[in-house]
Structure 1
């Protein structure tokens, strides 16, 4: 059962979505997710870690083909649950509410399949340029060979997931990340993947001037 705080957060969230033009079908899908998600937040402190743990729990129970939609709803709902009016306003200004979601998703796969594919994977000129720029930035920071190999392989896994995508904006990147992240079952590897995708994003959009590790323009997940 929802508490008054959660009911207020849900009401404010859906009012904003409706104001932005969200259709009834989209609102219904989000409500289905929140019906499952909200009970996991019951009596939890208003902390990012509590929210992240709830996401970790629910993502294990839902089909892979709705991982992105579910994580996207959780991402959007977070500032409402936190009662953070400034973040809601900033998120709204930056186009953070996905009213017209992309239909594209990477094909269903496993981490083993993706890892095995790295042995023979070929990357086009643009992808290779992004990888080279990321590698150089890591080397400039003093990365050793093992660190380079690990991080570049994770960036390559994401690029494999992005192959065939219809565009190259932040939304596509988020879709690929959201679909790939739950494939990592070991928490340490999941954390490293999150670090890499935040670092690599600026090189993927050809905007390395924001510096290594900057995640300006993209909030990919709330699973820390």
Structure 2
């Protein structure tokens, strides 16, 4: 995707998240205005912490003092969407706080992921803890009972591991998990592929929570899914 497209889908995801969090319509509209101002100040620059901070400062200097507090909040919230920083988005939703614009993004694997292929490469080399391995193995055992193609099992195994990796150090609940998924979706250009990820994530959620009835609950979710699992979509 071009940077213009990335910015467009990131802004859309941010606004959808505000609406899901039951933010007032007037506040959402104002937040969108400030977000678009920041984006206009960025222009065609590559999105780095330095470039973003400069754009934010230009934006803040262009608006009345009474709006700067709200605009600063928007600036803190928007940044992880623009850089595909999934963990910060989920943390923002689960706690209402954000850790701030990070200076050393490159030290964190998941800070600036630009594509689904890049995300999968990063998470595939990640070493799972003993607990994570047990959870993932339980999910793989469940997949073997579905009677789906081996290629589909492989794809679901890769995507579920990526989801597990990105939920590390997050207090997992429905809201933070939904936020994490919303922030991942802009990496996929095809609607079919987005639905495929959501269907996998819904099933895997029961295993992540170590629900004793996870296989049965996941199977019920599998049956309700609108995605044809045996015909997996392209990863794009």
Q: TM-score, normalised by structure 2?
A: 0.48
